[in-house]
Structure 1
Amino acid sequence: MLSDDQLAQPSLCFDNIVVCCTFFEVVVVSVTKREAVHVVVVVVIVVAVAVVVVVVVVVVVVTVVAVVSQPHHHNRQIFNYVSS
């Protein structure tokens, strides 16, 4: 059996979602349609930039880890093969 605290948890989470949705609706309704479009565009751009930054950071970290973890003579063999 679930305790009262565990039963209350999902409803608390649901309440938080409702509050967020209500807040979002208030924000969207309080601005004009044209401003709402600008807000959406800005949000999309910010999210896109954030995704690109995360991808770049992951690629750089993976590359650095791969280069650092490989033995140096192995890297020299790859370089010689590429340059020949």
Structure 2
Amino acid sequence: MVDRSIERNEELQKKKMTIPVPVGEEVGPKLVRFLYFIGAGFVCTAAINKWRDLERKANIQKQQKELLENPSPNSHGVQNAVE
């Protein structure tokens, strides 16, 4: 009687742990494809963020360069008033 209950518990645990898979397919290749998909998502996200940072830095440098080349007329007025 005790042996039968142990066997039944083992059978129930096996049923809970199984993943429904179509006939003729293995779980391994699906899991590998899923992990590749997740990894590709991380790589693409990192690349997009890096591109945004480069664009932002380029815009900041461009604005700073324009400010140095063409100072605003208000800054001359303040300098003249101080002198």
Higher helix share: 1
Larger-gyration structure (1/2): 2
For normalisation by structure 1, the TM-score amounts to 0.49
